[in-house]
């Protein structure tokens, strides 16, 4: 019980070691904060580079999709025109066949 009631006295050397230890711990904490900040900066920079690369690829893909849509519209326009021509030709042919069967006309 006497050990607990006696005050704790440190030698000057031990006191100096404790002071230096706390300073070293503070420096290590600041160093870790600095390293963490640098690491976060690098991660943010990498994220920006990746985001810019993805945005660039997306704009290229959008341009290619627009070209494909324009090509498909032109193909559709041509097909509709060709279909209309075929429809006219079939109508003329049907009319001739109908006239031949009804009236026996020949050209």
Q: Tens digits of per-residue pLDDT, 51-84?
A: 999 999 999 999 999 999 999 999 999 999 999 9
Sign of CA dihedral 92, 93, 97, 103: positive
Structure tokens at 65: 């999709």
With a cut of 50, say whether residue 1 has pLDDT above it: no
Residue count of the chain: 107
Angle at 44 between CA 39 and CA 50, to 5 degrees: 125
Which segment of 17-26, 39-48, 97-106 scores lowest on mean pLDDT? 97-106
Rounded CA gap, 101 and 107, in Å?
A: 13
- The token pair that represents 94 in the structure block: 């049907």
Terminal CA-to-CA distance of the chain, rounded, Å? 136
């Amino acid at each position: 019980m006497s050990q607990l009631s006696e005050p704790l006295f440190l030698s000057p050397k031990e006191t100096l070691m404790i002071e230096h230890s706390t300073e070293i711990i503070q420096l290590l904490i600041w160093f870790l904060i600095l390293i963490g900040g640098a690491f976060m900066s690098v991660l943010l920079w990498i994220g920006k580079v990746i985001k810019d690369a993805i945005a660039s690829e997306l704009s290229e893909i959008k341009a290619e999709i627009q070209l494909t849509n324009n090509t498909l519209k032109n193909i559709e326009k041509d097909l509709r025109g060709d279909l209309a021509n075929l429809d006219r030709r079939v109508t003329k042919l049907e009319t001739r066949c109908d006239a031949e069967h009804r009236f026996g006309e020949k050209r």
